[in-house]
Amino acid sequence: MTSELAQYLESIRSSAKLENSDESGVMSELEAHIQDKLQELTESGLTKEEAVRTCLGQMGSTKLVARQIYEAYSQGSWKQVLLASMPHLLFGLLFILNWWQYPGWLWLVLVLILATTIYGWSHGKPTWIFSWLGYSLIPVLTVGLLLLYIPKGWSLLLLPVYFPLALWWLFRIIIQTTRRDWLFSSLMLLPLPIITGWFLAVSPSGKITEYSLQRVYYFAPWIGLSFIALALTIAAFIRLRQRWLRVSLLATSGLMTLSLVVYYTAEHLNILTFFGLILVMWGVLLVPPLLERYLRSGRKISWRHRDTPGTSFRGTA
């Protein structure tokens, strides 16, 4: 296979963003088609270069083919919808039903989140795993918060160890997720500004006191509602096929949910914090695509020949 054809297939592969289980089959099929086409063209008397040029012209642009492949595979089943929105629903129910006061429920939810995340991560990273992945970072944050409560000497000793480790873990997960699709990184990080917003509203000093627990109790229905809004967003995200609609949904829903947080905590969040949260939300939406571009620019063509296996077919020119 010529480098031009390998580049063509690699470009489709990287833009179609398929799950590992589908990718090999789809790419092998396209490659088999190209081989048949080249054989026919060279047998008709074209030189190899002419055959490659004609073949690529008749296959269609990589952008068009990748977009249609993405749309054919992107829509998740209703089972995936349920699985993906489950962590948001669980957190929503914790607050709406006021179960957050019982440590048993909190532990149960955290263990469930960690177990599901590990299971999904080690079983081919299906689409639904990324909303669980965001919540699996909560134990890391909790450890950081607990460090504030230990004696000061220990705190000073442990914080320089904790921060680099926590950041390394966070970046490792973000990079691995972005390699699959930057949109999943945004999906994973979407609750982050919202959770931070609620946390700052109930506990501006960063320490959890009796007073801040009272505030959680006061805000609990709204906290629950914001998680339910996230669950609905994820459900719609999984069912949508078009990529631009998915991006718009995350941007709109993320900003609207954040506005809900700010609206109900207006007395407790100053203007600077509000703009800080908006910046974090934009970061959640803009940093992953930039990171993906950076990662892609440093990557060599990974598609190689494998032994396994005018008008587009949907009517788009």
Task: Tell me if 17 sits within 8 A of 180, measured CB to CB.
Answer: yes
The count of chain residues that interact with other proteins, using the rule CB under 8 A, is: 33
R_g of the chain, CA atoms, integer Å: 24
CA-nearest of 176, 95, 96 to 136 is 176
* Minimum distance of other proteins from residue 113's CB (angstroms): 30
Q: How far apart are the first and last CA of the chain?
A: 27
Q: Residues near 219 by Cβ (< 8 Å), separated by ≥ 6? A: 198, 201, 202, 264, 265
Q: Which is nearer to other proteins, 242 or 252 (CB)?
A: 242
* Minimum distance of other proteins from residue 72's CB (angstroms): 4
Q: What tokens does 18 get?
A: 């398929």
Q: Which is nearer to other proteins, 29 or 214 (CB)?
A: 29
Site string for other proteins, 67-106 (x = CB under 8 A): -xx-xxx---------------------------------
Site string for other proteins, 284-313 (x = CB under 8 A): -----------------------xxxxxxx
* Minimum distance of other proteins from residue 62's CB (angstroms): 8
Q: Residues near 312 by Cβ (< 8 Å), separated by ≥ 6? A: 60, 64, 68
d(CA 113, CA 131): 10
Q: Which is nearer to other proteins, 270 or 312 (CB)?
A: 312
* Minimum distance of other proteins from residue 74's CB (angstroms): 11
Task: Tell me if 246 sits within 8 A of 253, measured CB to CB.
Answer: no
Q: Which is nearer to other proteins, 44 or 209 (CB)?
A: 44
What residues numbered 39-68 form the site for other proteins, per CB under 8 A? Answer: 58-61, 64-65, 68
3 CB neighbour count, 10 Å cutoff: 10
161 CB neighbour count, 10 Å cutoff: 10
What residues numbered 14-33 form the site for other proteins, per CB under 8 A? Answer: 25-26, 28-30, 32-33
* Minimum distance of other proteins from residue 172's CB (angstroms): 33
d(CA 109, CA 262): 26
User: Which residues form the interface with other proteins (CB under 8 A)?
Assistant: 12, 25-26, 28-30, 32-33, 35-37, 58-61, 64-65, 68-69, 71-73, 307-317
